Amino acid sequence: MSVYKNDKLSYLKEALESLYSQTTKADIFIQQDGLLSDELNDYLGDELYKNKIIYLGKRNENKGLAYSLNELLTIVLLRYEYIARMDADDISYKSRLEDQYIFMEEHKHIDVVGGYIKEFGNDIDYEKIVAYPLKHEEMYNFFSKRVPLAHVTAFFRKNYFKKAGLYRIDTLSNEDTLLWMDGFKQGCQFENLDKVLVNVRVSNDFFSRRGGLKKVWSDFKDRVLVIQTLGYNISSYLYALAIVFVNIAPPKIKIFLYKRLR
């Protein structure tokens, strides 16, 4: 998990409590991405002192999610067979880690497994279960238009990173998209569980941020890179252009489209 200054303490508490209450426990590693508020610092310090957090990395400069996750991976890949992802404002279901661990133990050829998410509105009227394709070939085909695995549900075998490498840091916010691209390119095997694993908090900012021209252009360039790298057909380019128009739409229209098209 990475934590930065704009994360809210109440949301972080919910996220960590959902990990503490897992039916299968996990060691928790957190990277501080830049300076934090006093209340976030105090809380994380207390959790580290109570041994609820195994590792708390501190860095005064904000360098982004991909950079923070790579810092953590350089540590955990030396010690652990499995690595799970978690955001600082989402809520994992109690059996999430147990379900994914059992699956990976029973399917040794799979390098990463995800699952469905349930998006819920924090300050808006919004709720939606987002389902993803389940099998590797279906996920590869799905990736011609959209990401096939929710980053917040990712449960990796360490071999994934040996094959695909770490997160790319030369993207504005699509580190997960490019990680899936590198994984497919290098022969990593993907799968999703057919159940909701994480509740994902969605606010009005979630939709307004997606409308910034800098982000829209970055998303489009990264999508084109995926299409070119993995050899998808012309219809993938047309879909990418359609997403550009969705992302520059006003937030209310965007919410309407997300409810029906995702």
Q: What is the CATH number of the domain that holds 172?
A: 3.90.550.10
Q: 254: pLDDT confidence band, cut at 50, 70 and 90?
A: low
| Residue-wise pLDDT tens digits, 17-52 | 999 999 999 999 999 999 999 999 999 999 999 999
Task: Report whether pLDDT(14) > 80.
Answer: yes
Is the CB of residue 34 less than 8 Å from the CB of residue 5? yes
| Residue-wise pLDDT tens digits, 176-216 | 999 999 999 999 999 999 999 999 998 756 555 555 788 88
What is residue 260's predicted lDDT score, i.e. its pLDDT? Answer: 60
The C-alpha atoms of residue 125 and residue 141 are separated, in whole angstroms, by 32
| Residue-wise pLDDT tens digits, 91-138 | 999 999 999 999 999 999 999 999 999 999 877 777 899 999 999 999
Mean pLDDT of 165-175: 94
Partnered with residue 79 across adjacent β-strands are: none
* Model-wide pTM > 0.85: yes
What is residue 210's predicted lDDT score, i.e. its pLDDT? Answer: 52
Residues 33, 38, 43, 46, CA torsion sign: positive
Vertex 243, ends 242 and 246: CA angle to 5°? 95
Q: What is the DSSP code string of 18-41? A: HHHT-SS----EEEE-S---HHHH
* Structural domain that includes position 21: 2-261
What is residue 209's predicted lDDT score, i.e. its pLDDT? Answer: 54
What is residue 242's predicted lDDT score, i.e. its pLDDT? Answer: 85
The number of domains in the chain is 1
